[in-house]
Structures are given as structure tokens and as C-alpha cells.
């Protein structure tokens, strides 16, 4: 059975990497050469050696267990070929097996893959190792568990906690030392970034504080270069790095795996600050300042991502489908996570002022706000949502906004209660805005129709928000 599992896993994983390799770029987390070359060498070893599990089960078990108990010895001079030999062939480790089983399980959802991955996890716990292969296995096992058990499963949360413990034990949150090869350093950066994003997903869904705060990070973002370029010799790599712009982005506008991870990492940092406001102490004296800083960061993120990487409807006419999909995922992740609560605030303000027969203090006409909200709700209602708590939350919140708009449009005002000259700006919001230092560039968000999006309603909407977008992100 072990032999058949290895064969199936290799075929599934290789097919996935081959499919994305056929496109101009590859959207993966672990660099493609590491996975494909390791699997190829593992296959060669199996073909050239007897894997009669029925007769040699005891010796195979002893060999794999012995290799798993050994520490991975890495050095800056370690070649990719020698790195592979640390976990395959005669040194086959259970972490590598579990990683491949989990990776294949996400694509197939077969019971055997799930059980095999889980068995590797449980056995490796007894060895007490915290290494790169262990973090890969744990991360993809969390992804597999999420797809099978759901985003809010306590078992998934527990497994993710083990991953975070390994990340801290290995020091991945610190600036990498010069004692490992470049491809390992960059893979660690990617693993830290995607784990940070997953942490924010779980914290948002469960309403719990994050386990992997960015505040403690001293690591840089992944290099914005292609997977294959991680394995170049020093002169060739220097030439590639010279081609990056001043901020470290590639100048060609290509979406490499690291490009996508980098952009989504920006969003996860913002999500962490929003969670800090939503789940933190709202009576703290610096609460208003934190609201302003978060809003300011939200504005800055769009500027930090170069225009050549942003989504545009026109991209479907000039770029391949895979790249357009990646751009749209990043774009609509931001829209769904922040667009829906912001739309909820607008709909709530519009509804409450309409019922009170009070004018809406806004930088845009009332009719424009209604048209814009109607377009957003119509798009969301006609979109196919994932069959998970994520999709259910989107549908529920969209329906609430739609009912508020209907009630607003159908309301018959009473002219006798009109109060046209009142300043209806919320005192709490205005106090926060007035507290901004002169010249700070922070003002009421007129881009969002001039409504106070830093108010309590915004935080209340965030409390109920359960957006994860997990089903599309496992290989991107």
C-alpha cells in the first residue's frame, strides 16, 4: 500500500506542477524544482530497490524512523542535489512523506491520503523535530484538514497551533541567517507569509486573537523572482536581482509565486490591524489613533502594489487565464474582506438617516451611494459563493445590505419631522478625526462617500464577518 500511495502521490503532485508549469508562471508555495526533483529522485530509488512492503515492512519502518529522528544538517554551501538526499532515498523521512501525502490529498481528497498524512504527523510528533520539512507537512496538512473538516474545526486550529510552534522554534520570524542556501531561505520566507495569512483567516473566523502577530517579525519578504532562479549560481543570480526595481518588484509585471505571496502578505498585515481593533480593547485611550493608523494603512497598500500587478478587466484580453485568476483573487479578496463591511456601514447610515428624515452628510449624492451599493449587492448575489462558512457569511451580509436598501427606497418620509440644518456627524468619529495631527494627511474617508467608516458600526460589522477565501488559496 505504501508503494501505491507514493506512486499516486507522485502522479497527482507532478500533474499539478506540470499544469502550472505549462503556463507562463507557477503559482505555488514550495518552489517547483524542490518538489519535482525530489519526487523524481524518490521514484528512481523506489524503482531501483525492492519495496516489497509485505516482506520488508519491519526494516522499512526502522530505516524511515531512524532517518526521521536525525536532525537536518543545512549549510550555506549545500547544493539542491544534496538537499534532496537529506529526505529521500536511504534517508527517506516521514516529514517528506507526510508533506507529499497532504499535498496530493488537497488535490484528490482521498481517504488514504488523509489517513497517511495524519499518521506521518502523529509519528513525527514523537521525534520532536522542528525543521523545514516539518513546517511544509504541517502547513499542507492544515490545508487538507480545512477542506475536509471546515475552516472552524478545532482539530484544524490545533494543528495550526503546532505549525506556529515550529515556526517560532526555528526562528523563521527573525531575519534569516547566512547558514542555509538561498532556496531554503526563500522557501522559509514564503512559508512564514502564507502561515501569517492563514493565521488571520482563522482569527477572523473564530473571533480569536492571532497566534502569529506581524509585530514580532524581523524577516524580509520573498524575492520577487521565478522559482528556477532561486537555484542559479551567484553571478547569474546577481544579474537577476539587478533587474528588480527599487522596491524589489520585478519590472516585467510577471506574477511569480513570490509576487502573489508578497501582495497577499500586505493584505494580511492590514487584516491583523483590523482584528486588533475589532477584538482588542475598544475603551483604550489610543483606540482612536489605532483606527486612524489602520485606515491610513488601508490607503497605502494600494499604492505599495505596482500598477502592473493589479487586476483590470482588460487583463483577460492580453494575459493567460491563470494569471488573470491570480490577479482577480487578490483584488476581490480585498473587496470582499473590506468592501462588504464598508458597504454595510454605508447602508446602515443611509437607512438610519432616511428613517429619521435627516440629510446624509456625504461627499457624494444620495442617489450615487444607492446605485453603487446596488451594483455591489447585485454582483455578490449573482456570484457563486464557496460552500463554506465563508460563502454563507457573504450571502447573509449581502442580504442584510439588500434589505436595508429596499427599506430605504420604500420609506415614505414625514416632512413635518425634517431637520435640514442639523450636523449629523457622529461625535465619536468627529473627535477621532479632529485628533489627527496637522499635516498628517489623515481625513474623513471621502473616497468612501465621506461617511465615517471608523465608527462603531464598522467594528460591529467586522465582528460578524467570516471571510476566509480559503478554497482558492492553497496552491496560490
The reply to whether 417 falls in a domain is: no
Q: What is the pLDDT of residues 116-159, one digit of tens each?
A: 899 999 999 988 889 999 999 999 999 988 888 877 788 999 99
Structure confidence at residue 430 (pLDDT) = 38
pLDDT at 426: 38
Q: Nearest-CA neighbor of 5 among 106, 147, 111, 144?
A: 111
Q: Are residues 349 and 287 in the same domain?
A: no
- The pLDDT assigned to 342 comes to 74
Task: Tell whether the model's pLDDT for residue 458 goes beyond 70.
Answer: no
pLDDT at 334: 65
User: Does 316 lie in the same domain as 344?
Assistant: no
Q: Which phi and psi (to 5°) does residue 244 adopt?
A: -80, 155
Residue 420 lies in a domain: no
Q: How far is CA 208 from CA 138, 203, 272, 275, 372, in A?
A: 21, 5, 11, 9, 33
pLDDT at position 294 is 84
Would you say residue 419 has pLDDT above 70?
no
Q: What is the pLDDT of residue 254?
A: 87
4/469: higher pLDDT: 4
Using DSSP's 3-state secondary structure scheme, residue 169 falls into: helix
Give yes or no for residue 336 having a pLDDT over 70.
no
80 with 135, same domain: the answer is: yes
Give which of 201, 189, 205 is closest to 259, Cα–Cα: 189
Nearest to 20 by CA among 191, 190, 256: 256
Residues 6+ apart with CB under 8 A from 194: 29, 139, 261
| Same-domain pairing of 289 and 360 | no
Indicate the residue among 305, 324, 343 that finishes a domain.
324
Asked if residue 437 has pLDDT above 60, the reply is: no
290 and 277 Cβ atoms separated by less than 8 Å: yes
415 within some domain = no
Query: What per-residue confidence (pLDDT) applies to 401?
Result: 87
Q: In the predicted model, is pLDDT for residue 431 greater than 80?
A: no
Mean pLDDT is lowest, of 164-178, 255-269, 272-286, 428-442, for 428-442
- Rounded average pLDDT over 50-72: 79
At 17, the pLDDT band (50, 70, 90 cuts) reads low
Averaged pLDDT for residues 352-378: 84
Given this model, what pLDDT does residue 425 score? 40
As to burial, measured by CB atoms within 10 angstroms (0-12 exposed, 13-18 middle, 19+ buried), residue 36 is middle
What total of structural domains would you count in the chain?
2
Q: What local confidence, expressed as pLDDT, does residue 275 receive? A: 86
Q: CA 217, CA 213: separation in Å to the nearest integer?
A: 8
pLDDT at residue 94, as a whole number: 92
Contact 348, 404 (CB under 8 A): yes
Asked if 59 and 6 sit in the same domain, the reply is: yes
How far apart CA 443 and CA 461 sit, in angstroms, is 22
H or E stretch at 85:
helix 80-85
| Res 177: pLDDT | 67
| Structural domain contains residue 419 | no
Residue 222, φ and ψ in degrees, nearest 5:
-65, 150
> Which structural domain, as residue segments, surrounds residue 434?
334-410+425-470
* Helix axis angle, 340-355 to 366-381, nearest 10°: 130
With b meaning 16 or more CB within 10 Å and e meaning fewer, what string describes 181-218?
A: bbbbbbbbbbbbbbbbbbbbbbbbbeeeebbbebeebe
Task: Tally Cβ neighbours within 10 Å of residue 293.
Answer: 15
What is residue 351's predicted lDDT score, i.e. its pLDDT?
A: 87
Please say which residue of 290, 324, 358 terminates a domain.
324
Q: Determine the pLDDT at residue 476.
A: 32
Is residue 320 located within the same domain as residue 368? no
Crossing angle of helices 287-304 and 427-434, in 10° steps, is 70
Instruction: Taking residues 339-354, report their average pLDDT.
Output: 81
Does one domain contain both 304 and 404?
A: no
Chosen domain end from 324, 356, 388: 324
Domain identity same for 72 and 121: yes
User: pTM of the predicted model, to two decimals?
Assistant: 0.76
The residues facing 250 across adjacent strands are: 244
Residue with more model confidence, 354 or 59: 354
Per-residue pLDDT at 432 exceeds 50: no
Is 191 inside any structural domain?
yes
476 lies in a domain? Answer: no
Q: What is the mean pLDDT of the chain?
A: 78
User: 167 and 100: one domain?
Assistant: yes
Claim to verify: residue 193 and residue 234 sit in the same structural domain: yes
- With cut-offs at 50, 70 and 90, classify the pLDDT of residue 42: confident
Q: Which of 136-140, 368-372, 424-428 has the lowest mean pLDDT?
A: 424-428
427 or 95, which is more confident? 95
Q: Are residues 234 and 270 in the same domain?
A: yes
Instruction: Say yes or no: 240 and 365 in one domain.
Output: no
Most confident among 23-27, 105-109, 319-323, 407-411 (mean pLDDT):
407-411
DSSP state of 335: I
The phi, psi pair for 250, rounded to 5°, reads -70, 145
Q: Which residue has the higher pLDDT, 259 or 362?
A: 259
Confidence of residue 418 (pLDDT cuts 50, 70, 90): low
Q: How confident is the model at residue 445 (pLDDT cuts 50, 70, 90)?
A: very low
For residue 329, tell me if it sits in a domain. no
**pLDDT confidence of 198, banded at 50, 70, 90?**
very high
How much of the chain exceeds pLDDT 90, in percent?
Answer: 25
Choice between 240 and 23, residue whose per-residue pLDDT is larger = 240
Note the pLDDT tens digit of each residue in 171-196.
999 877 668 999 999 999 999 999 99
Q: What integer pLDDT is reported at residue 23 of this predicted model?
A: 52
Residue 456 confidence (pLDDT) above 60: no
48 CB-side CA count, 13 A = 8
Amino acid at each position: 500500500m505504501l508503494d501505491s500511495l507514493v506512486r499516486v502521490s507522485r502522479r497527482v503532485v507532478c500533474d499539478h506542477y506540470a499544469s502550472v508549469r505549462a503556463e507562463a508562471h507557477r503559482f505555488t508555495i514550495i518552489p517547483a524544482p524542490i518538489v519535482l526533483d525530489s519526487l523524481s529522485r524518490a521514484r528512481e530509488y523506489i524503482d531501483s530497490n525492492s519495496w516489497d512492503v509485505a516482506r520488508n515492512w519491519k526494516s522499512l519502518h526502522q530505516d524511515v524512523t531512524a532517518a526521521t529522528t536525525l536532525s537536518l544538517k543545512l549549510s550555506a554551501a549545500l547544493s539542491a542535489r544534496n538537499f534532496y538526499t537529506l529526505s529521500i532515498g536511504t534517508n527517506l523521512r516521514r516529514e517528506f512523506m507526510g508533506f507529499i501525502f497532504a499535498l496530493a490529498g488537497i488535490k484528490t481528497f482521498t481517504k488514504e491520503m488523509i489517513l497517511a498524512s495524519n499518521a506521518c504527523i502523529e509519528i513525527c510528533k514523537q521525534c520532536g523535530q522542528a525543521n523545514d520539512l516539518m513546517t511544509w507537512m504541517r502547513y499542507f496538512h492544515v490545508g487538507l484538514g480545512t477542506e475536509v473538516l471546515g475552516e472552524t474545526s478545532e482539530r484544524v486550529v490545533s494543528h495550526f497551533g503546532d505549525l506556529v510552534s515550529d515556526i517560532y522554534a526555528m526562528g523563521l520570524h527573525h531575519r534569516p541567517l547566512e547558514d542555509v542556501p538561498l532556496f531554503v531561505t526563500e522557501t522559509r520566507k514564503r512559508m512564514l507569509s502564507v502561515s501569517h495569512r492563514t493565521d488571520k483567516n482563522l482569527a477572523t473566523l473564530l473571533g480569536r486573537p492571532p497566534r502569529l502577530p506581524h509585530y514580532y517579525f524581523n524577516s524580509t519578504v520573498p524575492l520577487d523572482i521565478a522559482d528556477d532562479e532561486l537555484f542559479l549560481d551567484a553571478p547569474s543570480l546577481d544579474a537577476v536581482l539587478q533587474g528588480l526595481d527599487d522596491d524589489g518588484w520585478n519590472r516585467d509585471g510577471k506574477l511569480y509565486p513570490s509576487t502573489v505571496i508578497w501582495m497577499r502578505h500586505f493584505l494580511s498585515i492590514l487584516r491583523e490591524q483590523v482584528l486588533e481593533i475589532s477584538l482588542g480593547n475598544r475603551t483604550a485611550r489610543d483606540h482612536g489613533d489605532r483606527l486612524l493608523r489602520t485606515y491610513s494603512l488601508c490607503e497605502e497598500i494600494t499604492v505599495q502594489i505596482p500598477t502592473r500587478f493589479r487586476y483590470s478587466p482588460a487583463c483577460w484580453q492580453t494575459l493567460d487565464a491563470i494569471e488573470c485568476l491570480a490577479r482577480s483573487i487578490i483584488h476581490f479578496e480585498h473587496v470582499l474582506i473590506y468592501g462588504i463591511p464598508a458597504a454595510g456601514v454605508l447602508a446602515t447610515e443611509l437607512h438610519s438617516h432616511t428613517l429619521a428624515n435627516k440629510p446624509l452628510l456625504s461627499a457624494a449624492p444620495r442617489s450615487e451611494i444607492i446605485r453603487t451599493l446596488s451594483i455591489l449587492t447585485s454582483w455578490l448575489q449573482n456570484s457563486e459563493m464557496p460552500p463554506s462558512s465563508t460563502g454563507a457569511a457573504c450571502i447573509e451580509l449581502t442580504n442584510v445590505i439588500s434589505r436595508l436598501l429596499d427599506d430605504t427606497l420604500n420609506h415614505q418620509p414625514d416632512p413635518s419631522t425634517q431637520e435640514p440644518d442639523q450636523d449629523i456627524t457622529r461625535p465619536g468619529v468627529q473627535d477621532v478625526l479632529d485628533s489627527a495631527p496637522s499635516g498628517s494627511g489623515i481625513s474623513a474617508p471621502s473616497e468612501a462617500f465621506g461617511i465615517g467608516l471608523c465608527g462603531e458600526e464598522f467594528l460591529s460589522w467586522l465582528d460578524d464577518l467570516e471571510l476566509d477565501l480559503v478554497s482558492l488559496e492553497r496552491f496560490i
